[in-house]
């Protein structure tokens, strides 16, 4: 049986600002922008080439804004992806070589966490909340 993650809700304080960031700066496609009764609103956005979308809105989750961390936006080559985000006005840090140990394919990530002993070449803060290194398959990461 196949299991597919298709939607990750992200709690935000300003739906219009979040929509503008993901659509205009990050280049995500706006799939849906629906408003309902009592201030309910959901905006679904999908990264180019992804089968999984994010949803921002009002009344869609009860978790506090900013509480979702450690998401991986996986790309085939981190250098052009970093350049594209930078050209679109997204604040991105420099690419860091973490030694290629214990890493997923190229990833641009959110969130920070503590260091993990699973990757001796990484630095404190270069891990997500589960202790996984924030890096690409060559051992690179961007941070901000």
Judgement on whether residues 131 and 75 belong to the same structural domain of the protein: yes
Mean pLDDT of 50-60: 95
Three-class SS string for the chain? CCCCCCEEECCCCCHHHHHHHHHHHCCCEEEEEEECHHHCEEEEEECCCCCCEEEEEECCCCCCCCCCCCCEEECCCHHHHHHHHHHCCCCCCCCEECCCCCCCCCEEECCCCCCCCCCCCCCCCCECCCCCECCCCCCEECCC
Q: How far apart are CA 125 and CA 95, in angstroms?
A: 14
Judgement on whether residues 144 and 73 belong to the same structural domain of the protein: yes
Judgement on whether residues 77 and 144 belong to the same structural domain of the protein: yes
Judgement on whether residues 30 and 49 belong to the same structural domain of the protein: yes
Highest mean pLDDT among 32-36, 68-72, 90-94, 103-107: 32-36
Judgement on whether residues 54 and 73 belong to the same structural domain of the protein: no
Task: Give domain status of residue 114, yes or no.
Answer: yes
Report pLDDT for 76.
85
Judgement on whether residues 93 and 134 belong to the same structural domain of the protein: yes
Judgement on whether residues 51 and 73 belong to the same structural domain of the protein: no
Task: Give domain status of residue 64, yes or no.
Answer: no
Mean pLDDT of 112-127: 35
Judgement on whether residues 81 and 126 belong to the same structural domain of the protein: yes
Judgement on whether residues 98 and 134 belong to the same structural domain of the protein: yes
Task: Give domain status of residue 63, yes or no.
Answer: no
pTM: 0.69
Q: How far apart are CA 129 and CA 126, in angstroms?
A: 10
Task: Give domain status of residue 1, yes or no.
Answer: no
Domain count, the chain: 2
CATH code of 19's domain? 3.10.180.10
Task: Give domain status of residue 122, yes or no.
Answer: yes
Report the percentage of the chain scoring pLDDT > 70: 67
- What's the domain range around 75? 69-144
């Amino acid at each position: 049986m196949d299991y597919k993650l298709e939607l990750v809700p992200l709690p935000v304080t300003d739906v219009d600002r979040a929509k503008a960031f993901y659509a205009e700066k990050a280049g995500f496609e706006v799939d849906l922008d629906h408003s309902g009764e009592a201030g309910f609103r959901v905006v679904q956005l999908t990264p180019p080439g992804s089968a999984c979308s994010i949803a921002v809105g009002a009344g869609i989750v009860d978790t506090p804004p900013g509480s979702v961390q450690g998401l991986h936006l996986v790309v085939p080559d981190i250098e052009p992806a970093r350049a594209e985000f930078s050209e679109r006005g997204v604040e991105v840090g420099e690419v860091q070589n973490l030694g290629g140990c214990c890493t997923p394919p190229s990833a641009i990530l959110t969130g920070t966490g503590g260091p993990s002993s699973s990757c001796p070449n990484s630095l404190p803060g270069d891990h997500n909340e589960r202790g996984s290194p924030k890096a690409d398959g060559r051992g690179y990461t961007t941070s901000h």
